[in-house]
Amino acid sequence: MTTDTLRNEPVTTMSTNHVNEPPFWKCVIIGVICVYPLILLLRLALAPVTGGLPWGVALLPNVIVLSTLLTYPVIPWVTRLLRPWLYPKQRIENG
């Protein structure tokens, strides 16, 4: 049993087929690779709709669309694409 470092609570794993998580810095790079281009595209795509709105209000549709796209399909797709880099020496089973 391990301990959640943020909540200091015991954490149990559901499966014995555990694949180690990639290092934090690799997760950050994946996030930047996914978020930055989407932000640029969304600013351009939503500008005609949100252009006249106050900044904070105009940001909300961008956040909603960005969060939706990141959850599925962008992050899973990029993670699969970069799997050999994220998990270099681990055997990954499809299933």
Torsion over CA: 18, 74, 71, 8 (sign): positive
Asked if the structure places residue 14 within a domain, the reply is no
What is the reported pLDDT for 17? 61
Has residue 80 been placed in a domain?
yes
Residue 89: band (very low, low, confident or very high) from pLDDT cuts 50, 70, 90: confident
**Beta pairing partners, 2:** 11
Residue 89 covered by a domain:
no
Query: Is 80 exceeded by the pLDDT of residue 70?
Result: yes
Give the helix ranges, DSSP H, for the chain: 24-50, 55-69, 75-81, 83-86
- Over the chain, what is the mean pLDDT? 85
Do strands 2-4 and 9-11 pair parallel, antiparallel, or not at all (unpaired)?
antiparallel
Quote the number of domains for the chain.
Answer: 1
Per the structure, the complete domain to which residue 38 belongs is given by 24-84
pTM for the model:
0.68
